Structure 1
């Protein structure tokens, strides 16, 4: 388990900015996000993917506590 909180921002169905949280996310398990999102902090080393289900060749590994660029809109994440 990754200890801490992973925050992300996304635009909800009504077109408003929203913030989501993953508290103490499990390690080694892919988590899909509700919509394309920008990462705001990793609870542990996080590999973020542009595609759902942690699939595809486009991904970025973020060290614990790192933020991703607002231009990177991820769809899924897995923690080490």
Structure 2
């Protein structure tokens, strides 16, 4: 009986250790961009504490056949933001530093990845 409890305790500790050793990382702060809505109005979208090391195709500008790209990104997170002209982190890219100034309307984007 003791062996069974010991094995269960060790398995539980190993599971907890594995979960703690590979934490998910999120960039702290906000990433904003502008885009033109379907009705022609200029809108602003914000990603709050976005996930890092994962490509994020941006809402409102994801489909090149149905929408114009986003523009004027502002990276106010603690990670670098690499913005891409295409969805799924494809196309031309531009690196925005952490807590940088807003980019101009000329910088177009459809996806982003945050990296340390």
Q: Which has the larger helix fraction? A: 2
Aligned residues: 79
Paired residue for 1:51?
A: 86
RMSD value, Cα: 1.1
Q: TM-score, normalised by structure 1?
A: 0.91
Unaligned runs of 5+ in 2: 1-25, 62-68
Structure with the greater relative contact order (CA < 8 A, sep ≥ 6): 1 or 2? Answer: 1
Q: Which has the larger strand fraction? A: 1
Q: TM-score, normalised by structure 2?
A: 0.64
State the structure with more CA Rg.
2
Unaligned runs of 5+ in 1: none
Residue 70 of structure 1 deviates from its aligned partner by 1.1
Moved over 6 A (4+): none
